Amino acid sequence: MKKSLILIASLLLSNWSLAQWKGKEYVVEKDPKVQQKLEDWQDLKLGFFVHWGAYSVDGLCESWPIVSEDVDWLTPHEDLNAYRKYYFDLPKRFNPTKFDPTQWAELAEDMGAKYFVFTTKHHDGFTMWDTKQTDYKITNPEYPYANAEHADITKSLFDAMRDKGMMIGAYLSKPDWHHPYYWSKSFQSPGRNVNYKIDRHPDWWKNFTDFYFNQVEELMTGYGDIDILWLDGAWADKNNLQQDMKMDDVGAMCREHQPGILVVDRWVGGRWENYRTPEQHIPSESNPIPWETNLTVNCCFSYRFEESVETNVKSGRELTHKFIDIVSKGGNLLLNLGASPEGWFNAEEIKSVKQLGEWIHANEKAIYGTRAIAPFAEANIRYAKEKEGDKVYAYVLLQEGENMNKAMLPGCLVAKGAKIKDIATGKYVKYSRQGNSTLIDMPKKSGVAQYAIAFEISKVEKMAGKNVGKDQAAIDAENRNL
């Protein structure tokens, strides 16, 4: 097997090349199956991301309460060792009796998502599938959910989402704070990193990396077609305390079992980061490197009890505006909900994502399969184009109660004889050319339809300017306030 992996890895090395953008190098994957998968993924635009684990029992931040670091988002414990024991026992109370994977898949479809990424294991090491590598898993016979119909939660979800035609992504943490050879019991943990010197204990580290490799291989071989391996925990990297996770071996093994799979070793860069994953913010501009913003519907990735999140839930309008902004820049949105101890989601969050989905379904011709075009943003206008062809899409973002008789599309000069159509209704609208811009009649709308109005322009003579009248700081501020 090892010789096979070495051979595969050497062959794969010829499938990458380096490109430059703004003076920085990035890796381009040349494998045609990977390129096709990446192209297909970029067409999908919206993914459904779920953080779920035993931490949901108490509505805790995922994994991080057990780390010995003084960070802004955590309250320190008087006795961290005692708290860790309490935390690691949470699976004994995790019994999501209301979990229905079909219901989750229907919600994903309602919100307009085209792919699904699930936290199969977070940093705390609790495994949400029937792994053979550890007993710290959802199917442990000592835990209350072990004999449930959908006890292998990962398998149940992946099957249900595939039935809806979704791409499947497996989130997996590289570090594992429960594993005895990541945080050895011989030493105190100084933080998120391995707590011993790897060069002094290479056998310990090999034990851990073999465990990691085997868990990834289980996902690659026992859970159907996997489109994305979404890795987290960038500090577990050979350039940090020698934490070499043998990513060339892991990636080669993944491609052997799942040809064309996208591997996202996020924040690390290099050949195993097929696309970038900015977290909780939207980049200020478009770029040629495929990317995906992962964003929470409330303040946090994991579940919070209803009364603590209601004021933090992003509205349907806010989500729609952020989504359009991302689409106009050529990116994808991976939108996260945290699941409850029972196996469902907060009502206000469901309401917001369904409102987003209602808008998307009415305007999907201007969303899926689009690509960025310059200029992508002008004031409250966003632009995109169809992947192949002459059509340009303009999105007018509207605030609550805002009604406009006409809207100016700055820098967009519609070709003579071209037609402009309201995507949602299919009706053509009147317009006039104004210098290098176009003035269009705005249809009256209400409710979700009024969040933004998407127009299809059959042909554009000229797209001028680049975020005219705004410097970079202003664009960043607008994105934060959308």
Q: What is the pLDDT of residues 386-440, one digit of tens each?
A: 999 899 999 999 999 998 999 999 989 999 999 999 999 999 999 999 999 999 9
* Mean pLDDT to the nearest integer, 288-304: 94
Q: What one-letter code names the amino acid at 395?
A: Y
Instruction: State the pLDDT confidence band at 13, using cuts at 50, 70 and 90.
Output: low
pLDDT for the residue 475:
38
Residues 315, 356: contact at Cβ < 8 Å? Answer: no
Query: Is pLDDT above 90 for 26?
Result: no
Mean of pLDDT over the chain: 92
Query: Is pLDDT above 50 for 468?
Result: no
pLDDT 10s digits, 298-350: 999 999 987 656 678 999 999 999 999 999 999 999 999 999 999 999 999 99
Query: Is pLDDT above 50 for 279?
Result: yes
Helix (H, G, I), strand (E, B) or coil at 407: strand
Residues 457, 418: contact at Cβ < 8 Å? Answer: yes
What is the token pair recorded at 444?
């009256």
Query: Is pLDDT above 80 for 248?
Result: yes
Query: Is pLDDT above 50 for 471?
Result: no
Enter the pTM of the model: 0.93
Query: Is pLDDT above 60 for 133?
Result: yes
Query: Is pLDDT above 50 for 472?
Result: no
The DSSP bridge pattern shows strands 115-121 and 431-434 to be unpaired
Query: Is pLDDT above 60 for 5?
Result: no
Residues 293, 326: contact at Cβ < 8 Å? Answer: yes
Query: Is pLDDT above 60 for 7?
Result: no
Instruction: State the pLDDT confidence band at 473, using cuts at 50, 70 and 90.
Output: very low
| Partner residues linked to 264 by β-bridges | 230, 273
pLDDT for the residue 310:
62
Helix (H, G, I), strand (E, B) or coil at 318: helix
pLDDT 10s digits, 142-174: 999 999 999 999 999 999 999 999 999 999 999
Q: What is the CATH number of domain 2-362?
A: 3.20.20.80
Q: What is the CATH number of domain 370-481?
A: 2.60.40.1180
Give yes or no for a cis peptide into 202 (omega within 30° of 0).
no
Instruction: State the pLDDT confidence band at 106, using cuts at 50, 70 and 90.
Output: very high
pLDDT 10s digits, 344-384: 999 999 999 999 999 999 999 999 999 999 888 889 999 99
DSSP H helices in 111-177: 153-163
Q: Which of 372, 408, 406, 378 is nearest to 392 (CA)?
A: 372
Q: Which residue has the tokens 């369904």?
A: 354
**Residue ranges of domains in the chain:** 2-362, 370-481
pLDDT for the residue 308:
59
